[in-house]
Chain A
Amino acid sequence: MAEFVQLLFNGLVAGSIFGMAALGISLVYSVLHLVNFAAGDFLTLGAFTTFYLATSQHLPFVLAVILSMVIGVIVSLILEFILWRRLRRSGAGMLALFLVASGIAFILRQSIALTFGSDSRRFDLDQLTTYEFLGAQIARLQLIVLLCASIAITGIALFIKKSNIGKDMRAYADNASLAAVSGINVDRVIIATWTISGAYGALAGVFQGTVQGQFTNGMGLDLLLAILAAVVLGTIGDAYGALIGGFVLGVVMDLSTWDALAGGIPSTYKPVVGFAVLVIVLLFKPEGIFGVRARKI
């Protein structure tokens, strides 16, 4: 039982991080029809800028995190203005967008490697305090991450549901031309999308760096596949689906190592489990958990 609680808790923490990152990818896809392969490296960027500001520049940790989110947003917006906008206007197809996103991923990752080297880093936080809950050891930092992530997730879910920009975003994702003729400010929608994606990517990166303890410049890339799996699981382009997909995947991946399940799977195979889940779901429901049956255009 204690092990179950422990794994469930670990899974929820991982899932909240997957969900936050997946949300950004899904929103960007729904508005811009672009699978953002660089999203993983935005997580790394967030973790490293926070490390730099908090540890090297001795800023308060929370301030460093907020500044990192701002930097994530600025980088996302710069890319929008110099690349994505131009590509959209030239009518670039899915493949072109894929490849540009992967090019950005290479440049971003190598820039981080060039600046910070290949050593692993850690935040200067109290890694040791743990609480006992139903026999499970729960680290204080994990608990904080889960709480903050839950607040962030609830906040963004409400924002998309209730705010005017959120409604515009959903309208635009649903039918771009209809939204545009109805007087929705398309540029504002796109900027809001990149802002959410940039800020939440950086925040998810900080959370992941905190939970992992140590992180290198490959952190985001290692996580990207699980995040993409969460995106697809929750139906690509569906923001709420991405959040739920993230949690489902996080919990399933951690629970799969549970001893009571026929000895459990070695934890090194956790990512494989994530994909097995994805492939099985897609076999039965090719549009993802929340997808509507093929609407061909």
Chain B
Amino acid sequence: MTAILQPGFWVFILTMSGIYGIFTLGLQVQYGVGGILNFGHVGMMALSSYTMAILVIAHGFNFWVAAASGVAVAALGGAFLGLTTLRLRGDYFSIVSIAFSEIVRYVIFNSDGLTGGAQGSLAIMPIGDAYPSYTDTWDTILYWIRDHLTPILGEIADRDMAMGILVWITFGILLFIVSRVERTSWARVLRATREDDDVPSALGKNVFRFRLQAVIIGSIIGGIAGIYWALQVSLLSPDDFLTIVTFYAWMILILSGATKVKGLAIAAIFFGFLYGGTRFFTFWPFSFFDASQRSYMRIMIIGIVLIVLMIRRPQGIFGKREEMVLE
């Protein structure tokens, strides 16, 4: 119980919330604006984080170049997914997109020589005798921030807090950009395609191209989340990219009311507490279960919240019901 009183725990929750928030923002562009049911979003996170890790560890790339390449690969992944399957009906697309992310994870899991396989990024072969780490450049920045925070905040300031600050600055900037983008004519056309293909087509808009652009933009944002994820966990494993992660993002998106950007940050924090906080459910009746059993219950609770939300309030906390019922 004392862990709840530690500031480190709150910093951890907020950092994870921010990363999940960025991740969900990508989905928001795809579904909230374009009505695209992408259930393979976690695949983009996997692509960017592993690309970055492999380039830095095995090929000695500069971190920034590697991170940019990672995001570019996520964008390419989105383009591939969109070009091959976006012409399919909505329900077909959602199934194929899940398959896409599972294949990405599967290939990562089985390509031992390239990705380290089941052992994760620790087993990527580094150049020379270097320790297989991709966080060195980032750590320098984090320690620089920490050293500047210490005179103000004292002992509380640490590496994790610096990480949280950078995550939330990025999230804030991306939220601002996306909310601006969503007021452009591009987004208006995309929103029109969500309701109906025929009207925008009749007005000479290439519906497929607008949707493809939405998928790619969402994938880029998902890719950025992947880089932050990699930096936060500092050791990648294929298990980080299970399909359930996409469902976490969907839950955040629905909570925030899919069509509105403004609720996203709050919904992400709510999710962070639900996800991170449930491990401290040590009181009755949870005290009957041991730690590993409680970790099963955490996902059960998320399942229950998802169901109750869809029945009681499908428009989320901030959304409009009319905009959700139309699909």
Binding site for B on A (CB under 8 A): 29, 35, 83, 86-87, 90-96, 98-100, 102-107, 109-111, 113-114, 118, 225, 228-229, 231-232, 236, 266, 268-269, 271-272, 275, 278-279, 282-283, 286
Query: Across the interface, do B94 and A225 meet the contact criterion of CB distance under 8 Å?
Result: no
Chain B residues, Cβ within 8 Å of A86: 311
Query: Across the interface, do A104 and B307 meet the contact criterion of CB distance under 8 Å?
Result: yes
Other-chain contact of B96, A83, A110, A278 (Cβ < 8 Å): A278
Query: Across the interface, do A268 and B303 meet the contact criterion of CB distance under 8 Å?
Result: no
Cα distance, A23 to B307, chains bound together (Å): 25
Query: Across the interface, do B296 and A113 meet the contact criterion of CB distance under 8 Å?
Result: yes
State the Cβ distance, B35 to closest chain A Cβ, in Å.
Answer: 9
> What residue in chain B is nearest A105 (Cβ atoms)?
B303
A-B pairs with beta carbons under 8 Å apart, 25 shown: A35-B94, A87-B311, A92-B310, A93-B324, A93-B327, A94-B90, A96-B310, A96-B314, A98-B94, A99-B254, A102-B303, A103-B302, A103-B305, A106-B302, A106-B306, A107-B304, A109-B299, A110-B299, A114-B300, A228-B98, A229-B95, A236-B91, A282-B88, A282-B96, A286-B89
> What residue in chain B is nearest A29 (Cβ atoms)?
B91
Other-chain contact of B306, A35, A99, A278 (Cβ < 8 Å): A99
Chain B residues, Cβ within 8 Å of A279: 84-85, 96, 99
With A99-B250, A110-B303, A114-B289 given, name 6 new contacts (CB 8 A).
A92-B314, A110-B299, A114-B300, A228-B95, A236-B91, A279-B99
State the Cβ distance, B95 to closest chain A Cβ, in Å.
Answer: 5
Query: Across the interface, do A106 and B92 meet the contact criterion of CB distance under 8 Å?
Result: no
Cα distance, A105 to B243, chains bound together (Å): 12
Chain B residues, Cβ within 8 Å of A282: 84-85, 88, 92, 96
The stretch of B56-64, B103-111, B174-182, B209-217 that contacts the partner chain: B103-111
Query: Across the interface, do A232 and B96 meet the contact criterion of CB distance under 8 Å?
Result: yes
Cα distance, A150 to B289, chains bound together (Å): 43
* Docked complex: B254-310 residues within 8 A CB-CB of A: 254, 289, 292-293, 296-297, 299-300, 302-307, 310
State the Cβ distance, A41 to closest chain B Cβ, in Å.
Answer: 11
State the Cβ distance, A95 to closest chain B Cβ, in Å.
Answer: 6
Binding site for A on B (CB under 8 A): 31, 37, 39, 84-85, 87-92, 94-96, 98-99, 102-103, 106-107, 110, 244, 247, 250-251, 254, 289, 292-293, 296-297, 299-300, 302-307, 310-311, 314, 324-327
Given A35-B95, A113-B296, A225-B98, check contact A103 B306 (CB 8 Å). yes
Query: Across the interface, do B325 and A94 meet the contact criterion of CB distance under 8 Å?
Result: no
Cα distance, A104 to B296, chains bound together (Å): 14
Query: Across the interface, do B92 and A286 meet the contact criterion of CB distance under 8 Å?
Result: yes
Which 8 A-B residue pairings sit nearest by Cβ, starting from the closest? Answer: A106-B303, A93-B327, A103-B306, A103-B303, A103-B307, A107-B303, A110-B296, A110-B300
Query: Across the interface, do A100 and B327 meet the contact criterion of CB distance under 8 Å?
Result: no
Cα distance, A109 to B37, chains bound together (Å): 24
Query: Across the interface, do B87 and A286 meet the contact criterion of CB distance under 8 Å?
Result: yes
State the Cβ distance, A120 to closest chain B Cβ, in Å.
Answer: 16
Cα distance, A19 to B107, chains bound together (Å): 25
State the Cβ distance, B47 to closest chain A Cβ, in Å.
Answer: 15
Chain A residues, Cβ within 8 Å of B84: 279, 282-283
Query: Across the interface, do B307 and A272 meet the contact criterion of CB distance under 8 Å?
Result: no
Query: Across the interface, do A95 and B37 meet the contact criterion of CB distance under 8 Å?
Result: yes
Chain B residues, Cβ within 8 Å of A114: 289, 293, 296-297, 300
> What residue in chain A is nearest B309 (Cβ atoms)?
A99
Given A96-B310, A96-B314, A225-B99, check contact A104 B88 (CB 8 Å). no
Cα distance, A269 to B324, chains bound together (Å): 39
State the Cβ distance, A247 to closest chain B Cβ, in Å.
Answer: 19
Chain B residues, Cβ within 8 Å of A113: 296
Cα distance, A241 to B310, chains bound together (Å): 31
Chain A residues, Cβ within 8 Å of B96: 232, 275, 278-279, 282
Cα distance, A269 to B306, chains bound together (Å): 33
Given A103-B307, A232-B92, A286-B88, check contact A95 B106 (CB 8 Å). no
Other-chain contact of A99, B88, B300, B310 (Cβ < 8 Å): B310
Given A114-B296, A232-B92, check contact A83 B37 (CB 8 Å). no
State the Cβ distance, A78 to closest chain B Cβ, in Å.
Answer: 13
Cα distance, A161 to B300, chains bound together (Å): 39
Query: Across the interface, do B99 and A278 meet the contact criterion of CB distance under 8 Å?
Result: yes
Query: Across the interface, do B306 and A102 meet the contact criterion of CB distance under 8 Å?
Result: yes
> What residue in chain A is nearest B306 (Cβ atoms)?
A103
State the Cβ distance, B66 to closest chain A Cβ, in Å.
Answer: 26
